[in-house]
Amino acid sequence: MRAQPRASHYINGRFVEDDGGVLLPVIYPATGEQIAALHAATGNIIELAIEAARAAQPAWARLKPGERGRILRKAADILRARNEELSRLETLDTGKAIQETLVADAASAADALEFFGGAVAAFHGDYVDLGGPFAYTRREALGVCVGIGAWNYPIQGAGWKSAPALAMGNAMVFKPSENTPLSALALAEIYTEAGLPDGLFNVVQGYGDIGGSLASHPVVAKVSLTGSVATGKKVLALAGSQMKHATMELGGKSPLIVFDDADVENAVGGAMLGNFYSTGQVCSNGTRVFVQSGIYDRFIDRLTERTKKIRIGDPLDPDTQMGPLINKSQHEKVLTYVDIGRSEGATLHLGGGVPSLQGFEGGFFIEPTIFTGVADDMRIAREEIFGPVMSVLTFEGEDEAVARANDTEFGLSAAVFTRDLPRAHRVIADLQAGSCWINHYNLAPPEIPFGGFKQSGIGRENSLAALQHYSQLKSVYVETGDVVSPY
Ligand code: NAD
């Protein structure tokens, strides 16, 4: 299986190679086989990309917002037309099941490009009446923005960052995760085909050090990172030292609260979506499932039955529901957490093992895993595992559930399953999390803001909030009379 792109980087509207950069092998996580070999950026590549972005941005920012938007909407159409081929590429890059990548990756990037392509024309400054004189505000581009992606949603992440950046008149240099370098290059080609002027969306590859060089480059005005809290702290410090704008989309250990009166099938479906989709590699996952005692037995019975039916295997088979984890080290990390859960005294209710799959012996597969009898202070209930490992905890009362749900350094997401609507809204209002659901889990359409409270990040992606985060506000006072001066 090969997925070798024409070159490692995409700068100023074309593919660029510099084989002086550190080798970056691309591994298909289902087999462990190498499917491409790229090179990390050298200093020269970084300078070329930043300079291309810097040179192209001012003319782009002067276009009418709707004209910029038209190009984004055209790129969205191309993404949709090529969804099958892009989904296959994303499955090779990430190992995620094709039935997921067909609906959640390039398709989600297309949704973002379409949304921002339209919304930007309606995103404008204000008029302020000062009783004669007046003022107005302008939303202006920041300049050159850097996007740094994670490996779980590579093309979606590239789309979610570049769409609001470009719509607002910025240029972007994007560094995909070193684990998943391929699909951002495909997005760059599509932007060019849609008519995006050269230099406005550039892709450079590399490990964390290249992300650091980009984030601290003096020409860069803003950094948007999706990654772990530890990386977020480093990148935010780099940005802060030069007063750059920053958006941080980081990790979580989110609570999903199931009350006695919930529809049990919906609650189970939500908990499975919030733990097993993308083989559990979703930042917003509801990995602490708090179940009220009155529904506990029914919930566990159905959860067990339905989880046992999950089909693990060949990610390119449309019937497969769960692929492997991204790489060997993530595989080892998740299996270590299974051991930690057992040794802490939690009950390994289901899964936890490595399935034997003919033809995929070199892959990084793990069974969907459920721990019951989990206590709040166990590491499996406090630390982000980033794999298909659900911790089920029980509770009696509403106040208790809220207090325990909030007892975490993270604050990305939360959900409540109940038929009691006043309670649903009351509990959601008390939960310390940025992206919440009532009676569902993990939906993130571009119309609504996405991002975290507490250590899970700052700033927001998607919605008009993202346009604010990719722009700066200028206020203009306009005098209509004479200058009153004491001099
Ligand atoms: P990571 O933090 O290891 O890497 C993320 C990106 O940052 C990669 O591109 C990496 O090369 C780069 N990077 C690493 N060190 C850097 C440094 N010092 N300076 C600049 N860049 C650096 O995260 P990951 O393992 O790729 O992804 C998993 C993590 O991302 C999880 O914690 C997950 O919760 C989080 N995540 C968050 C969201 C969200 O929207 N909130 C979405 C997906 C993933």
**pLDDT given at position 164:** 98
What strand order describes the sheet that includes 127-129? 127-129, 134-141, 471-478
Q: What is the pLDDT of residues 228-247, one digit of tens each?
A: 999 999 999 999 999 999 99
- Protein residue with its CA nearest to atom 8 in ligand 1: 177
The Å distance, Cα 228 to ligand 1 centre, comes to 5
Q: Please check whether residue 390 is in contact with residue 371, taking contact to mean a CB–CB distance below 8 angstroms.
A: yes
Nearest to 436 by CA among 415, 422, 452: 415
The answer to whether residue 161 is catalytic is: yes
The Å distance, Cα 453 to ligand 1 centre, comes to 17
**H/E stretch holding 421:** helix 421-430
- Compute the distance between CA of residue 452 and CA of residue 436 in angstroms, rounded to an integer: 10
87 lines ligand 1 (CB under 6 A): no
151 lines ligand 1 (CB under 6 A): yes
**pLDDT given at position 366:** 98
21 lines ligand 1 (CB under 6 A): no
Q: Please check whether residue 238 is in contact with residue 212, taking contact to mean a CB–CB distance below 8 angstroms.
A: yes
* Separation of first and last alpha carbons in the chain: 79
- Looking at every residue in the chain, the average pLDDT score rounds to 98
Q: What is the pLDDT of residues 127-165, one digit of tens each?
A: 999 999 999 999 999 999 999 999 999 999 999 999 999
- Compute the distance between CA of residue 200 and CA of residue 57 in angstroms, rounded to an integer: 7
Q: Is the dihedral of CA 81, 84, 86, 90 positive or negative?
A: positive
- Measured CA to CA in angstroms, residue 200 lies from 49, 58, 80, 384 at distances of 9, 10, 21, 35
The Å distance, Cα 333 to ligand 1 centre, comes to 16
- Compute the distance between CA of residue 249 and CA of residue 175 in angstroms, rounded to an integer: 15
Relative to the CA of 412, which ligand 1 atom is closest? 41
The Å distance, Cα 483 to ligand 1 centre, comes to 53
Type of residue at 144: V
Beta bridge partners of 245: 222
pLDDT band of 487, cuts 50, 70, 90 = very high
- Protein residue with its CA nearest to atom 9 in ligand 1: 177
Type of residue at 275: N
The answer to whether residue 283 is catalytic is: yes
**pLDDT given at position 1:** 86
**pLDDT given at position 407:** 98
**pLDDT given at position 403:** 98
The answer to whether residue 33 is catalytic is: no
- Segment 71-85 shows an average pLDDT of 98
384 lines ligand 1 (CB under 6 A): yes
Q: Please check whether residue 470 is in contact with residue 164, taking contact to mean a CB–CB distance below 8 angstroms.
A: yes
- Measured CA to CA in angstroms, residue 16 lies from 8, 185, 256 at distances of 7, 11, 45
- Compute the distance between CA of residue 116 and CA of residue 118 in angstroms, rounded to an integer: 5
The answer to whether residue 17 is catalytic is: no
| The model's pTM | 0.98
Type of residue at 9: H
- Segment 75-98 shows an average pLDDT of 98
DSSP SS3 for 151: coil
Q: Is the dihedral of CA 475, 480, 486, 487 positive or negative?
A: positive
212 lines ligand 1 (CB under 6 A): yes
- Compute the distance between CA of residue 267 and CA of residue 264 in angstroms, rounded to an integer: 5
Q: What is the pLDDT of residues 18-61, one digit of tens each?
A: 999 999 999 999 999 999 999 999 999 999 999 999 999 999 99
Query: How many other C-beta atoms are found inside a 10 Å radius of the C-beta of residue 436?
Result: 16
Beta bridge partners of 137: 475
275 lines ligand 1 (CB under 6 A): no
